[in-house]
C-alpha cells in the first residue's frame, strides 16, 4: 500500500537569529548566534514561477524589493534556479535586526528565507545545502561570499566553517557560564565599506599570532579553559584597521576589559561591540560599555545573550 503523501504547505514563516561574526579571531569563518533578536520571513507558494518580495517591514531605510538585489530574494532565486522549481514564491520580510549594525541582518534574512522555502519543498534539503543558497544571498549585501554569519544563524551556537565551494561546518561547545554582551551604538556602518578599507596583505608575524589565537580560542572552548580563551581573545589583524570607524571604540573596549571581560571586539563589520564574559560580570560590563558610548555622544541598544542559541527554524506553518 502506498503511503499517503504529506499535505503540501502553502505558507510558512521562519525565524533566523542575529549573529556575531566574526568572533574576533576568526575573520569570515567563526560566528555565534545571539538570542535576543532576529529576522522573520513569510513565504507563500504561488502558481506564477519566480520570486517576488511583497513587503519589508521593521526598518526605516528602504531595502531593495527586487529579488536579485535583496539578500533573502537572491537566496531564493539561486535555490529556485538550482532546483528547477515550478512554483513561485511571494515573501514578506520582517526585519528585527537593525540595518548596518554588525549583527548579521543580511545573513539572517537570507537564512530565514531558505529555511521557510525548504518547508515548501516536497523533498526538503539538508542544512548544508541550504547554507550554499543563503551564501548567495549574503553576497548581494556585502559584495563577497562569507559564512561567519550565515552558518551560525542556520545551525545555532558557535560555528566554525571551513571551505567556501564545499563548506563544512562545526558547532563548537562553549563553557556554559559564558555570556555575550552586545552594545549597538545608534549609527550605521556599511559592511561593504568596512571590508573595502581592509589591507589586502598581512604581515607573516601577524598571521602566526592570529593563527595561534584562533587555535587557542577554540581549544579553550572545547576544554572549558577560560584563561586560555581570555589570552587568545585578541584580533591582531582586522580590529586594529576597523577600530577608527567606531567613535569611542577604545574606551568601550577598555570599559569591558576593566570589568573582567574575557575579551572584547567588533561584531562583524561593526559598529556593535561585543564582549564575552562570565555570567556574573555581564551586567556590570554592559553598564560600563553603554556609559563609554554615551560619553562619545552615542546612545545604544544592548543585550546579554548566551552563546548556544538555537539556529533558524520554522515558527508558523
Ligand atoms: N565577516 C564579515 C566581516 C562579517 O567582518 O566583514 C560582516 O558581514
Residues paired with residue 313 on neighbouring β-strands, in sequence order: 15
Ligand 1: distance of its center to the CA of 255 in Å? 24
Q: Which residues of 157-179 are buried (b: 16+ CB within 10 A; e: fewer)?
A: bbbbbeeeeebebebbebbeebb
Which atom of ligand 1 is the closest one to the Cα of 269? 5
**CA-closest candidate to residue 93, choices 118, 116, 77:** 116
Ligand 1: distance of its center to the CA of 22 in Å? 6
pLDDT band at 60 (very low <50, low <70, confident <90, very high): confident
Pocket test for ligand 1, best of 109, 148, 152 (most atoms within 8 A of CB): 148
The CA distance from 302 to 304, in Å, is 7
Ligand 1: distance of its center to the CA of 297 in Å? 25
Which atom of ligand 1 is the closest one to the Cα of 195? 6
The whole-chain average pLDDT of the chain stands at 94
Is 70 exceeded by the pLDDT of residue 7?
no
Pocket test for ligand 1, best of 30, 164, 195 (most atoms within 8 A of CB): 195
**Which pTM was predicted?**
0.94
Cell numbers at 147, concatenated = 559564512
The string of pLDDT tens digits covering residues 173-202 is 999 999 999 999 999 998 889 999 999 999
Alpha carbon distances (Å) from 219 to 37, 46, 198, 287: 28, 48, 28, 30
| Among the four given CATH numbers 3.30.70.890, 3.30.160.20, 3.40.50.2300, 3.40.449.10, the one describing domain 178-306 | 3.30.70.890
The string of pLDDT tens digits covering residues 247-302 is 999 999 999 999 999 999 999 999 999 999 999 999 999 999 999 999 999 999 99
Ligand 1: distance of its center to the CA of 26 in Å? 10
Residues paired with residue 180 on neighbouring β-strands, in sequence order: 276, 305
Question: Under the phi-then-psi rule, with left for phi > 0, alpha for psi from -120 to 50, and beta for the rest, what region is 224?
Answer: left
Ligand 1: distance of its center to the CA of 23 in Å? 10
Radius of gyration in angstroms for the set of CA atoms belonging to the chain, rounded to a whole number: 20
**CA-closest candidate to residue 110, choices 69, 58, 62, 81:** 69
Please state the domain extents for the chain. 11-172+309-316, 178-306
- Domain 11-172+309-316 has what CATH class? alpha beta
Around ligand 1, the residues with Cβ closer than 6 Å are 21-22, 27-28, 142, 146, 148-149, 191, 194-195, 268-269
Pocket test for ligand 1, best of 25, 106, 197, 268 (most atoms within 8 A of CB): 268
Atom 1 of ligand 1, residue of closest alpha carbon: 28
| Helix, strand, or coil (residue 161) | strand
Cell numbers at 297, concatenated = 555622544
**Domains 11-172+309-316 and 178-306 in one fold:** no
Ligand 1: distance of its center to the CA of 5 in Å? 42
Four-point Cα dihedral 20, 22, 25, 29, nearest 10: 120
The CA distance from 173 to 218, in Å, is 9
Instruction: Report pLDDT for 70.
Output: 95
Residue 92, phi then psi, degrees to nearest 5: -125, 140
Which atom of ligand 1 is the closest one to the Cα of 242? 5
Q: Which helix (H) or strand (E) holds 195?
A: helix 191-196
Residue pair 13/41 in contact (Cβ under 8 Å)? The answer is yes
Atom 7 of ligand 1, residue of closest alpha carbon: 268
pLDDT band at 2 (very low <50, low <70, confident <90, very high): very low
Amino acid at each position: 500500500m502506498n503511503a499517503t503523501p504529506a499535505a503540501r504547505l502553502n505558507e510558512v514563516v521562519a525565524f533566523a537569529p542575529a549573529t556575531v561574526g566574526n568572533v574576533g579571531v576568526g575573520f569570515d569563518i567563526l560566528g555565534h548566534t545571539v538570542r535576543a533578536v532576529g529576522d522573520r520571513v513569510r513565504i507563500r507558494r504561488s502558481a506564477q514561477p519566480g520570486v517576488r518580495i511583497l513587503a519589508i517591514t521593521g526598518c526605516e531605510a528602504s531595502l531593495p524589493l527586487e529579488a536579485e538585489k535583496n539578500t533573502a530574494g537572491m537566496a531564493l532565486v539561486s535555490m529556485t534556479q538550482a532546483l528547477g522549481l515550478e512554483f513561485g514564491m511571494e515573501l514578506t520580510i520582517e526585519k528585527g535586526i537593525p540595518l548596518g549594525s554588525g549583527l548579521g541582518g543580511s545573513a539572517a534574512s537570507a537564512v530565514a528565507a531558505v529555511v521557510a522555502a525548504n518547508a515548501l519543498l516536497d523533498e526538503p534539503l539538508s542544512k548544508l545545502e541550504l547554507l550554499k543558497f543563503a551564501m548567495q544571498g549574503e553576497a548581494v549585501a556585502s559584495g563577497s561570499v562569507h559564512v561567519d554569519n550565515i552558518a551560525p544563524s542556520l545551525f545555532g551556537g558557535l560555528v566554525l566553517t571551513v571551505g567556501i565551494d564545499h563548506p563544512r561546518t562545526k558547532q563548537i561547545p562553549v563553557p556554559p557560564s559564558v555570556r555575550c554582551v552586545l552594545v549597538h551604538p545608534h549609527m550605521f556602518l556599511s559592511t561593504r565599506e568596512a571590508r573595502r578599507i581592509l589591507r589586502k596583505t598581512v604581515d607573516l608575524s601577524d598571521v602566526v599570532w592570529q593563527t595561534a589565537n584562533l587555535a587557542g580560542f577554540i581549544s579553550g572552548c572545547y576544554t572549558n579553559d577560560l584563561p586560555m580563551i581570555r589570552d587568545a581573545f585578541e584580533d591582531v589583524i582586522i580590529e586594529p584597521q576597523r577600530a577608527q570607524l567606531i567613535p569611542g571604540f577604545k574606551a568601550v573596549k577598555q570599559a569591558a576589559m576593566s570589568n573582567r571581560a574575557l575579551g572584547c571586539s567588533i561584531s562583524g563589520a561593526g559598529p556593535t561591540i561585543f564582549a564575552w564574559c562570565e555570567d556574573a560580570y555581564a551586567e556590570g560590563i554592559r553598564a560600563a560599555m553603554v556609559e563609554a558610548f554615551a560619553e562619545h555622544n552615542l546612545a545604544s541598544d544592548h543585550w546579554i545573550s548566551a552563546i548556544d542559541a538555537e539556529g533558524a527554524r520554522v515558527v508558523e506553518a
